[in-house]
Chains A and B, each alone.
Chain A
Amino acid sequence: MAIAIVLIVLALGSVVFYFLSPWGLTPLASNWGAIDATIDITFVVTGAVFVAINVFMAYAILCYRFKRQRRSHYEPENKKLEAWLTGLTTLGIVALLAPGLFVWGNYVNVPDDAHEVEVIGQQWHWSYRLPGDDGRFGDVRTHLIDESNPFGLDPDDPAGQDDVLIDSSHVKLPIDRPVKLMLRSTDVIHNFKVAQFRAKMDVMPGQVSYMWLTPTKTGDFEAVCAELCGMAHFAMRGRVEVVEQGEFDDWVAQQPTFGELQDVGEGDPEAGAELYARCVACHGPQGGGRQEMNAPRLAGLDDDYIERQLRNFRQGARGEHEADRFGQQMRPFAMTLEDREMNADVAAHIETFPVEPTRPTIIGDAERGERFYRSCASCHGADGEGRRALKAPRLAGMNDWYLVRQLQHFKDGVRGRHPDDWYGNQMVDMAQILVDDAALRDVVAYIGTLSGGESSPQQDSEQARAEE
C-alpha cells in the first residue's frame, strides 16, 4: 500500500521538481539552441514514459494486493500486446533519434566561413593561437616546445611566422561569427568546455580535434576543463570574452606573432641592471628581500614569473585589492616599467642573482606541512624548485613571511581573483585546502626545508665524506 503511494508521489514529484528546480541549463550564448531543443524533446518523451510506467505499476500494486482466496491470472504471453508495445517503443526511439542525428549533422559540418582559433590544453591551463594574416596555422610539434618556443612552432615553416600567440588563459572571440576551435594538447587529455556554448570536445594529445560554434552574446564566459587531467583538474580554468568584431580586431593586433617573439629574443640583463636601480631600496641589491620593507626576495624567480607579476601590478590585476596594502605600494614602481621589453630586461637581471639561504621567521609543524605540500608539489615541484611550464614559481628559499602572507591573500581572494590574473585563480582554488592559520604556517615551514632541487652545501659535504 505505502509503496504504491510512494511510487506515485515520487513519479509526479520528479516531474514537479523538473519544473520548480532552480537548477537547469545555463542561459545559452551560442548558436546551439538546437541542442537545447533535443534536450527538451527528450525530457518530454522520457518524462511521459517515466510517469506512465510508474503510475501503472503503482496502480497494479494497489489493485492486486495479496488476498488468500485470489489466484493470479495465468497468461504466459500475449503476442498482440507485446507487438504493440514494441512498435510504440520503436516509434518513441525514432522520435528521439531523428532530431538528434539531424543536429549532429550540423555539429560535425563546420560552415565554410568559420574562422579558426586553436585552443591548447596543458596541465593545468589553456593558451590559444590564431592563424594570422595568411589564415593558415604553421606546423607545430610538441617536442619543439621549450622556454623560447612555448607553442612548439616549427621555425622553418613560413606559415607559422605570422601566427598570433596568446600565452594566457584568456581569449576573445568576435560575436556572431562562426568559429572553428582546433583543439590541441601538449600533455594529457583535456576538454574545453564553456557551459553557455553547449559545444564541447576532448583535447586529445597526438591529434587535433575540433568543434565549431557561433557566439551570440557578448560577455565573459568561464572555460573549464571537463576531462580529468590530473591533480589540479578542478583548478584548470580559462576565460572566453565575446566582443564586437572591431574590439576583437584591435585586441588581435596587440598580440605578438611568432615572428615578433623570435625577433625580440631574451631580455638583456645589463639593460635590466640599470632599470633594477629603482628596486634596490626595498628588494636589496641582490634581490635578497627586506622584511622590514615588506619586500620579498626576488632571487631565484624565473623571468616568466617576474614579467607576469610586473604586468599584473602594472595593469591592476595584482595589488589593486584594498586589503593588499603592500601590493598597492608595489604598483607605482611597476608602472615605471612601461613596456614588455623593460619587464624582460629586469627579469633577466633578476635571474642572475645568487640564491642565498633565508632565515626562518615562522614557526610551524613541517611534518604536518609535508602532507599539505603534496598538493603543491604537482606544480611547484617536490623540491619547491618551481616549474616554469606550469606557470608555477620557485618556492624554495623564498621568505617564509612572504609566503604566509600571499597564501592568506590567495585563500581570502585578495590576490588571484582579478579576471586578468590568468593563473592566480588556480592558487585561490588550491589555497582552500589550507583550512586554518596553522595549516598555512605548517606548509610554509615545510617549504623552508626544501632545497629547490640543487643540493645544499651541507649535503655536498656529506656526500664528499661518504665518497671518502
Chain B
Amino acid sequence: MGEREYDAGAYVPPAETEEMELVHPKTFIGKYIWSQDAKVIAIQYGVTATAIGLVALVLSLLMRLQLGFPNAFSLIDPGEYLQYVSMHGMIMVVYLLTAIFLGGFGNYLIPLMCGARDMVFPYLNMLSFWFYFASVLILVAGFFVPGGSMGAGWTLYPPQSISEGTPGSEAGIVVMLLSLAVFIAGFTMGGLNYVVTVLQARTRGMTLMRLPLTIWGIFMATVMALLAFPALFVAALMMLCDRLLGTSFFMPEMLSMGETSDHGGGSPILFQHLFWFFGHPEVYIVALPAFGIVSDLLACHARKNIFGYRMMVWAIVIIGVLSFVVWAHHMYVSGMNPYFGFLFAITTLIIAVPTAIKVYNWVLTLWRGNIRLTVPMLFAIGFIFTFVNGGLSGLFLGNVTVDVPLSDTYFVVGHFHMVMAVAPVLVIFGAIYHWYPKMTGRMLNDTLGKVHFWITFLGTYVIYYPMHFMGLEGVPRRYYAYGETTFISDSVQTLNVVISIAAFIVALAQVLFLINLVWSYYRGRDAGPNPWRATTLEWQTEHTPPRHGNFGESLPLVYRWPYDYSVPGASEDFIPQNVSPEETRWQAEGRQS
C-alpha cells in the first residue's frame, strides 16, 4: 500500500495560535537553578533521579551480599535487610522510574516533539521539580531518623508498617509517607502541565495522530498517574492518621508485641485496595513511556516506519484504561473475597492482548527494515527480549490459579524485575544514547556504550531468569536468610552466589556509563543537529542543544506523521515532519534531473 492513502502528505492549513511569552533570566541561578525552561528542568529531574537511583542500587548490592554470602560480612542485620528491600523498591519505582520518565523525558521531549516553545505553565513546572527535590531530601532523611528508614516493604502494608516489630515503624514510616505526599503534590503540578501542553500547545499541523509514540506513551502515562496517585495520597494520609493520631482506618482489633493495642475496627485490606489501585497503574505509568520511546528508537534506527501506528496508539490507550480494572490481581491470596479472582484474572489476561500487539508491531517494524545496530538500537532489542520474557511470566501470575503457589516467591521477584525494572531501564539507557547528542551537541562514546549494553543485558538476564525457578521451588521473598528448610535445595545457595556476583558486575558496568556521560560531554564527537537522521521535530531545531524557546523565529509547521522513513521515491531515507509535500516533490525532481 502506498503512502498517499495514509494522509502522510496531506497539508494542514495554519491556524491562528498565539506565541507564548517566555521569561528569559540573565543570571546563572535563574537559568540553571530556578529555571523555568523545560529542558533544564528535565536535566534537573534526570540528575536527581539518577543520584537517588544509585543509592537504591547500592542498597540492592548490600542485599545481594547478604543473600549470596549469608552472615559472612555482618554488614546488615535482619531489620536493616528489610529496610533496604523496602527503600530499594520504593526509590526505584517512584523516585527513579516515574520521575525520570515523566519529569525527565517528559519535560525534555514534550515541548520539542510537539513543536512548542515550552511547557504551558513554566513556573508550575519549576515548582514541580523543587517539590520532587524536597521529597527526595525527605526520603533520604528517613535513613537517619531514630530506628532507621521504613522497612515494611515498598507496599507499606498495615498493620505491620506502623506496628512495633517492623523496622522503621517508629519514625521511618512517617518520613516515608510525608515524602510520598510531597512527591505526589509535585507530580500533580508537573503532570497537569504535560497533559495541557500535549493537548493545547502542539504546533500547527501536529494532529494527535501525528504525534510520535513517545509523546503518546508519556501523555497516557501522565493521565494515568494523575488518576492513580491520589489513591496513594489518601492512603498515605490515612495511614499517617493511624500512626500519629491513633485513628484506625486500616487497623483492626489486634495485638502489638503480645499487648492489646488501642486500635480496632479498621480494615487492612482496604489499604491494599487503595495501594494497588495506584500500584498497578503505576506499572504502566513506567511501562507506557518506555513503550513509546522504544517505538521511536526502533523506527529511527531501523530506518522504517513503525508498523501499525494507529494500532499502537490505540493499544496505549486501551492498556491505560484497562490497567485501572486489574489492581486486585496483586491480592489473589490476600484474603479478599475469593470470587474476585474470576473477574480480575479475566481483566488481567485481556490486557495481554494489546500488550502482545505492541510486541508484534515492534518486531514487525524490524522486519524488512534497514537495521543500524547502533547503541540505542541494541538497547531497544534488549528491551524487547527482556520485556517479552517478563510479560510472559506475567501470564503465570495474572492467572489466578497459577499465581497461588508462585505468589510471594522469587518467581514474583524475577517477573517484576524483568518487566518493570530491567526492561524500562534498558529503554532509559537507549533513550539517553539516542537523545544525548541533542541535549549536549556531542555523541556518546560508541565502544563504551556497547560494553555497557552487553554487560547490562546479559548480566541482568543471569540475575533474574534463574529467580523464576527458585520461585517454582517455593523460595519465599523478603527473607533475610533461609536457614534449613525441608523444601529448599542446597543448590539454591550456589545459585544465590552466582546471582550476587552477576549483580556486582552489572553494577560496575553502570560506572562505565557514568564515565561515558561525563567524558563525552567534554570530548565526545561533535553530533551536528540530526546525527541519527531522524524525522521528529526535536532534531529540526535551529540550535543544538536547543535554546530556551526551542525553535527559531517561527514554530515549525507539521505536514506528516513522524515515521516517514524510507518513503518510496524520496531522495533521502527520511522525511522530517516539517518538510512539506512540495519540498519533497521538488527534491525528488531535483535528484532525477
Contacts and interface: CB of A to CB of B under 8 A. Distances in A.
Contacts of A224: 476, 485
Interface centre among A23, A35, A189, A191 (most CB of B within 10 A): A23
A235 B482 CA distance: 8
A228 B82 contact: yes
Given A38-B402, A89-B353, A53 B363 contact: yes
A188 B335 CA distance: 13
B479 A233 contact: yes
Contact of A72 (B369, B473, B482): B369
Contacts of B581: none
Closest 3 CB pairs of A and B: A389-B258, A206-B252, A195-B474
Contacts of B305: 72, 74-76
Contacts of B491: 22-23
A97 B346 contact: yes
B71 A67 contact: no
A60 B366 contact: yes
B486 A14 contact: no
A429 B482 CA distance: 8
B470 A100 contact: no
A3 interface: yes
Given A93-B350, A100-B402, A226 B408 contact: yes
Contacts of A201: 333, 335
22 contacts: A10-B385, A17-B469, A35-B402, A42-B402, A50-B388, A53-B360, A64-B367, A66-B303, A89-B357, A96-B399, A97-B346, A142-B253, A142-B260, A145-B260, A204-B269, A206-B267, A232-B165, A387-B258, A390-B258, A428-B483, A433-B74, A433-B78
B512 interface: no
Interface string B356-374: 1101110110111111110
Contact of B79 (A123, A220, A374, A417): A374
Contact of A77 (B8, B257, B311): B311
B172 interface: no
A231 B167 contact: yes
B384 A57 contact: yes
Given A21-B469, A86-B357, 16 more contacts: A24-B473, A26-B487, A64-B371, A71-B370, A74-B305, A77-B6, A101-B346, A101-B401, A122-B255, A188-B165, A221-B487, A222-B486, A234-B482, A417-B484, A428-B484, A435-B73
B77 A371 contact: yes
A228 B72 contact: no
Given A23-B489, A220-B486, A35 B404 contact: yes
A108 interface: yes
A37 to B, nearest CB: 9
Contacts of B334: 202, 204
Contact of A108 (B70, B338, B366, B492): B338
B163 interface: yes
Contacts of A341: none
B352 interface: yes
B325 to A, nearest CB: 16
Nearest to B382: A3
Contacts of A204: 268-269, 334-335
B425 to A, nearest CB: 18
Interface in B339-360: 339, 341-342, 345-346, 349-350, 352-353, 356-357, 359-360
A436 to B, nearest CB: 8
B481 A234 contact: yes
Interface in A1-45: 1, 3, 6-7, 10-11, 14, 17-18, 21-26, 34-35, 38-39, 42, 45
Interface in A421-436: 425, 428-430, 432-433, 435
B568 to A, nearest CB: 6
Interface in A201-244: 201-207, 209, 220-222, 224-235, 237
B472 interface: yes
Interface stretch (B36-44, B129-137, B152-160, B427-435): B152-160
Given A100-B400, A189-B268, A228 B160 contact: yes
Nearest to A376: B77
Interface residues of B, number: 124
B345 A100 contact: yes
Nearest to A22: B491
Nearest to B450: A2
Interface of A: 1, 3, 6-7, 10-11, 14, 17-18, 21-26, 34-35, 38-39, 42, 45-46, 49-50, 53-54, 56-57, 60-61, 64-67, 70-78, 81-82, 85-86, 89-90, 93, 96-97, 99-101, 103-104, 107-108, 122-123, 141-143, 145, 183, 185-189, 191, 193, 195-196, 198-207, 209, 220-222, 224-235, 237, 371-372, 374-375, 378, 387-390, 417, 425, 428-430, 432-433, 435, 439
B138 interface: no
Contacts of B399: 38, 42, 96-97, 100
A192 B404 CA distance: 12
A210 B3 CA distance: 60
Interface in B458-500: 458, 461, 465-466, 469-470, 472-474, 476, 478-487, 489, 491-492, 495
Contacts of B74: 433, 435, 439
A281 B481 CA distance: 41
Given A23-B472, A23-B495, A77 B308 contact: yes
A66 B373 contact: yes
A451 to B, nearest CB: 18
Contacts of A75: 1, 305, 307, 368
Interface of B: 1, 3, 6, 8, 70-74, 77-79, 82, 151-153, 157, 159-160, 163, 165-167, 252-260, 264, 266-269, 302-305, 307-311, 333-335, 338-339, 341-342, 345-346, 349-350, 352-353, 356-357, 359-361, 363-364, 366-373, 378, 381, 384-385, 388-389, 392-393, 395-396, 399-402, 404-409, 458, 461, 465-466, 469-470, 472-474, 476, 478-487, 489, 491-492, 495, 563, 565-568, 573
Contacts of B258: 122, 387-390
B401 A57 contact: no
A85 B303 contact: no
Contacts of B357: 82, 85-86, 89
Contact of B307 (A56, A77, A388): A77
A120 to B, nearest CB: 11
B399 to A, nearest CB: 4
Contacts of A35: 401-402, 404-405
A82 B371 CA distance: 22
Contact of B363 (A56, A187, A207): A56
Contact of B166 (A77, A89, A231, A417): A231
Contacts of B486: 220-222
A205 B268 CA distance: 7
Contacts of B350: 93
Contacts of A233: 82, 478-480
A183 B335 contact: yes
A231 B165 contact: yes
B396 A46 contact: yes
Contact of A25 (B266, B405, B481): B405
Given A26-B487, A100-B402, A67 B495 contact: no
B341 A104 contact: yes
B368 A189 contact: no
Contacts of B473: 23-26, 195
Contacts of A188: 159-160, 163, 165-166, 254
Nearest to A24: B472
B356 A89 contact: yes
A26 B474 CA distance: 7
B235 to A, nearest CB: 16
A141 B310 CA distance: 58
B472 A25 contact: yes
Given A23-B470, A93-B349, A206-B254, A198 B72 contact: no
Nearest to A108: B338
Contacts of B255: 122, 142, 145, 186-187, 389
